Structure 1
Amino acid sequence: MIRQNIVPVILAGGSGTRLWPLSRKSYPKQFVPLLGEETLFRQAVRRLSGEADGLHFERPVILTATDFRFIVMEQLGLEGIEPGGVLIEPAARNTAPAILAAALHLMASDPEAIMLVAPSDHVVPDAPAFQAAVAQGIEAVRNGDLVTFGIQPTHAETGYGYLELAAKPDADGTPVKLARFVEKPDAERAGAMLAAGNYMWNAGIFLFAVKDLIAAFERHAPSLVGPVRGAVEQAQTDLDFLRLAPGAWEEVEDISIDYAIMERASNLSVVPYGSGWSDLGGWDAVWRHSDADENGVALSGSANALDCRDTLLRSDSEGLTVVGLGLSNIVAIAMNDAVLIADKSRTQDVKDVVDLLKQKQVAQATHFPKDHRPWGWYESLLVGSRFQVKRITVLPGASLSLQSHFHRSEHWIVVEGTARVTVDQEVKILTENQSIYIPLGAVHRIENPGKIPMVFIEVQTGGYVGEDDIVRYEDKYARE
């Protein structure tokens, strides 16, 4: 068997709202451990790596937003995977421009490349079966087809678009020609398509020869090619990232790959896939993929249930206990700054809740309580008119910038690990239960020289404790 090289192109820039309050604009679901201890992003990059079924997955190309770039690198590092490129989109423009940018980026180094495009927020329980499905699509790609993957429906779902196949798929997963795309149906239409047997859910996963995809854009969406090519050719390297040029990107139309190319092209094939899949598009989907008990009750974190049925209870906050009593068909998600309680049949409408909170300018609509930074993360524990208390985690080998403040002084108390602290000309090592005072205006930095995460409590006092009261002198992450 000839080994086929595949370049995974992983889309990780989305910020869906249907899994609020756990998934928010500042920290979306692909980076959150929704099912078990691992994030969907980590599962995706691991699924698309190594060797399988005559395939060799090369280093992945990641498309993401600037706010998520260090989260991407952190989670890639946890998997021991070095990317083939991390492309930063200046603004969200949907899937067509992102995929075209990846294709043009790959074309420059390998015109014969084959790319597998996959969202980073899907659940695919059987990785070998999915890899085998990818192998099924190779011959169709070699014959010039654009390949998409159809999911065998398990129920009459109204939240997905569908693919109508030209014939019913056989049991061996052979690609079938695509007849047409079908928009999200109502319940009656979804039931009819399920019974027909030649309709599949549209997963938004694609297999393309780079040159054929670019040719399809030139034929069916030529207005996208110029500005996207300009954004790629004028891109600037920033540390480990490639920032697409914002000027050219502003001219790019906001459009999906389905509308731009797939619904217009005629050389389309579908690889049927029936070994389990979900885009976790709502809390009802999370419930379906959770380990529920015999009463259909799924618990996560510090959650308890008594006399409940078909219910999801979840606590994602340390020290916050959730108890359900006599509930049926309910979702309850608790975090330290927001709680969602909903009928499970209404979870697709959670986006309307987020819209309402945005209108009321509620910070929890978009802002996650844990702020991620290139060196780790922090969370505010208590905020007053002239003080703030934070818990700060610094990753091994990482450091905060050398900085000073105009309006506040700080106390640092190390509670886990070892810290190297600079205050003006003095450098000292602090271990657990040791502390130091940072006077107003002092030039300071904290580093983690150890091999485990270092955690410290920061108490800020002063007339202003906002995040913008920072003067940076040195920063290994090249922030201003």
Structure 2
Amino acid sequence: MIHPVILCGGSGTRLWPTSRKAYPKQFAKLLSDESLYQTTLRRLSGPMFSRPIVMTNELFRFLASQQAGQIGLTDARVVVEPILRDTGPAILAAAMIVAQDEGKDALMLVAPSDHVISDIPSFLASVEAGVKVAETGALVTFGIVPTRPETGYGYLELSAQPNGSGEAISLTSFREKPDAATAAEFLEAGNYLWNGGIFLFRAGDVIASFEANAPQLIAPVRAALDQGEDDLSLFRLGIEGFGAAESISFDYAVMEKADKVAAVPLTCPWSDLGSWDALWAEEQPDAEGVATRGQATAVDCSDSYLRSDDDNIHVVGLGLNDTVVVAMRDAVLVADKDRAQDVKALVNTLREVEAPQADDYPRFHRPWGWYETLCIDSRFQVKRIMVHPGGILSLQSHHHRSEHWIVVSGTAEVTVGEEVKLVTENQSVYIPVGAVHRMANPGKLPMYLIEVQTGSYLGEDDIVRYEDAYGRG
């Protein structure tokens, strides 16, 4: 039995504006009705695998649990990293958990949550090939046979060229992202793979490698586990211990120094969707090289990608060539497709001018559901709110605003002071300034309402919480 460990704490910005710090690409529905994280969970489930361990951070702890539950994986163990410390400490913490619960000989498959792998049988065959080597004590990494001189990936240098069998090959070195000329040399040499960031090993073997190559991580990560505590359905690592760990990637900490490392060439199509041109390729462009998603229409365009992530916005391209256009309600990206790798730098520019769109998402996700602002002015704000079945907001009050709730779908259980009542579709309720209140969805379908706020201050920090089902302060 293999124990999947899914790394789910990243905040990718190369797919801005769809992917942002507050709602990164692993949770977005980029290619289908399921997120990349959900397709990863499905890929790492079945007879070969035990329940997954999901390593994520404070910001995404409830989102990770919710999206796993939406596809029926209610047994996923979500481990919360209280502070970002890169993949080294995260993988070590997961290995210690697996070793403690299942023994040091237990196999772990570590994978990012945001990759696209369409041929699942071929992927599982590669995993089986890796198991044979991992059971001998090797640390196994999985690489992708290059199809072009790519400068956006790191490379794995093999001791021999892959022969197409999918068998593991000993690894000579890890190579950083190359320039174009070096990438062309790697492609021609034939004994290089793209570094896919997927690993397989026994828990005890990787812990021993940490002890030999990154011993400074052992004590703080072990302390974080000892200080950790269950929090609802999550396990929260101790912040004092984990915060003392060095921030370092797993490659740098262990893989580049370990004595016994092998690579398995993946024999299936793969993409990390690291840029908009990569997503364009996954969308299978038409004969003119045009791909669209959502409400989008291309007229006399070529080699372009048009995408709308808002049902109320229709993107129309006329005479475009080598262009990416992505529209959301609060931001629009128009870029040369050849500059897709530069979007990350663009986000940094937006941060410098303090544009909230750099990191904030127009829809704010909470453990009970989500809300989005439809209209805002100096003394009023209109929101749309969705509450999951069984979801319940905190018991709270506001110093500076009153609220008017209008239920538009479903039924809300509303508390105002000592009164508790059901508010159904087309009914409303008024919340005066200072009144203690909460809402919940007692039904089996999502509940939607429109909230109208009026007052002198409308910020989200004007909340006094008296009771919260999700343990928030």
Residue 168 (structure 1) aligned with residue 185 (structure 2)? no
Residue 141 (structure 1) aligned with residue 134 (structure 2)? yes
Q: Which amino acid letter does the alignment assign opposite residue 38 of structure 2?
A: R
Give the distance between the partners of 1:160 and 1:299, measured in 2 at CA. 26
Residue in structure 1 matched with residue 282 of structure 2 by the alignment: 289
Query: In 2, are the aligned partners of 1:62 and 1:83 still within 8 Å (CA)?
Result: no
2:95 aligned to which of 100, 103, 108:
103
Superposition deviation, residue 83 in structure 1: 3.8
Give the distance between the partners of 1:407 and 1:238, measured in 2 at CA. 32
Query: In 1, are the aligned partners of 2:168 and 2:265 still within 8 Å (CA)?
Result: yes
Query: In 1, are the aligned partners of 2:2 and 2:106 still within 8 Å (CA)?
Result: yes
Q: How does 1:364-383 map to 2 (within 5 A)?
A: 364-383=357-376
Deviations 1:401-460 (A, max 9, x none): 121111111111111112111222222222221111111222211111111111100000
1:355 aligned to which of 348, 351, 355:
348
Give the distance between the partners of 2:287 and 2:447, measured in 1 at CA. 41
User: What's the secondary structure of 1:217's corresponding residue?
Assistant: helix
Residue in structure 2 matched with residue 37 of structure 1 by the alignment: 33
Q: How does 1:72-91 map to 2 (within 5 A)?
A: 72-91=64-83
Deviations 1:274-324 (A, max 9, x none): 210011111010001013221111111111110000100111123111111
Query: In 1, are the aligned partners of 2:364 and 2:370 still within 8 Å (CA)?
Result: yes
Residue 10 (structure 1) aligned with residue 15 (structure 2)? no
1:456 aligned to which of 431, 449, 453:
449
Q: Which amino acid letter does the alignment assign opposite residue 166 of structure 1?
A: S
Residue 446 (structure 1) aligned with residue 464 (structure 2)? no
1:207 aligned to which of 171, 186, 200:
200
Residue 28 (structure 1) aligned with residue 20 (structure 2)? no
Superposition deviation, residue 84 in structure 1: 4.8
The farther-off stretch of 188-197 and 270-279 is 188-197
Q: Which amino acid letter does the alignment assign opposite residue 350 of structure 1?
A: V
User: What's the secondary structure of 2:177's corresponding residue?
Assistant: coil
Query: In 2, are the aligned partners of 1:380 and 1:390 still within 8 Å (CA)?
Result: yes
Q: Percent identity?
A: 57
Give the distance between the partners of 2:267 and 2:319, measured in 1 at CA. 36
Deviations 1:233-277 (A, max 9, x none): 111221111111111222211111111111111201111112100
Give the distance between the partners of 1:319 and 1:100, measured in 2 at CA. 45
Residue in structure 1 matched with residue 337 of structure 2 by the alignment: 344
Q: Number of aligned pairs?
A: 472
Give the distance between the partners of 1:186 and 1:477, measured in 2 at CA. 48
Give the distance between the partners of 2:121 and 2:375, measured in 1 at CA. 47
Deviations 1:80-110 (A, max 9, x none): 1134521111221111111001111112112
Give the alignment's TM-score, normalised by structure 2. Answer: 0.98
Please list every run of 5 or more consecutive structure 2 residues that lacks an aligned counterpart in the other structure. Answer: none
Query: In 1, are the aligned partners of 2:229 and 2:238 still within 8 Å (CA)?
Result: yes
CA-atom RMSD in angstroms: 1.1
User: What's the secondary structure of 1:130's corresponding residue?
Assistant: helix
User: What's the secondary structure of 2:102's corresponding residue?
Assistant: coil
Q: Which amino acid letter does the alignment assign opposite residue 471 of structure 1?
A: V
2:46 aligned to which of 41, 50, 62:
50
Please list every run of 5 or more consecutive structure 1 residues that lacks an aligned counterpart in the other structure. Answer: none
Q: How does 1:271-290 map to 2 (within 5 A)?
A: 271-290=264-283
The farther-off stretch of 419-428 and 261-270 is 419-428
Q: Which amino acid letter does the alignment assign opposite residue 27 of structure 1?
A: Y
User: What's the secondary structure of 2:101's corresponding residue?
Assistant: coil
User: What's the secondary structure of 2:116's corresponding residue?
Assistant: coil
Residue in structure 2 matched with residue 61 of structure 1 by the alignment: 53
Residue 335 (structure 1) aligned with residue 337 (structure 2)? no
Residue in structure 2 matched with residue 402 of structure 1 by the alignment: 395
Give the distance between the partners of 2:267 and 2:316, measured in 1 at CA. 36
Give the alignment's TM-score, normalised by structure 1. Answer: 0.97
Q: Which amino acid letter does the alignment assign opposite residue 329 of structure 1?
A: D
Residue 131 (structure 1) aligned with residue 127 (structure 2)? no
Residue in structure 2 matched with residue 241 of structure 1 by the alignment: 234
The farther-off stretch of 467-476 and 294-303 is 467-476
Query: In 1, are the aligned partners of 2:109 and 2:198 still within 8 Å (CA)?
Result: yes
Give the distance between the partners of 1:333 and 1:64, measured in 2 at CA. 27
Q: Which amino acid letter does the alignment assign opposite residue 69 of structure 2?
A: G
Query: In 2, are the aligned partners of 1:306 and 1:326 still within 8 Å (CA)?
Result: yes
Give the distance between the partners of 2:318 and 2:162, measured in 1 at CA. 46
Give the distance between the partners of 1:82 and 1:452, measured in 2 at CA. 18
Give the distance between the partners of 1:429 and 1:105, measured in 2 at CA. 44
Give the distance between the partners of 1:124 and 1:170, measured in 2 at CA. 21
User: What's the secondary structure of 1:223's corresponding residue?
Assistant: helix
Residue in structure 2 matched with residue 250 of structure 1 by the alignment: 243
Query: In 2, are the aligned partners of 1:59 and 1:82 still within 8 Å (CA)?
Result: no
Query: In 2, are the aligned partners of 1:381 and 1:390 still within 8 Å (CA)?
Result: yes
Deviations 1:365-412 (A, max 9, x none): 111111110000000111111111100000011111121111111111
Residue in structure 1 matched with residue 313 of structure 2 by the alignment: 320
Q: Which amino acid letter does the alignment assign opposite residue 391 of structure 1?
A: R
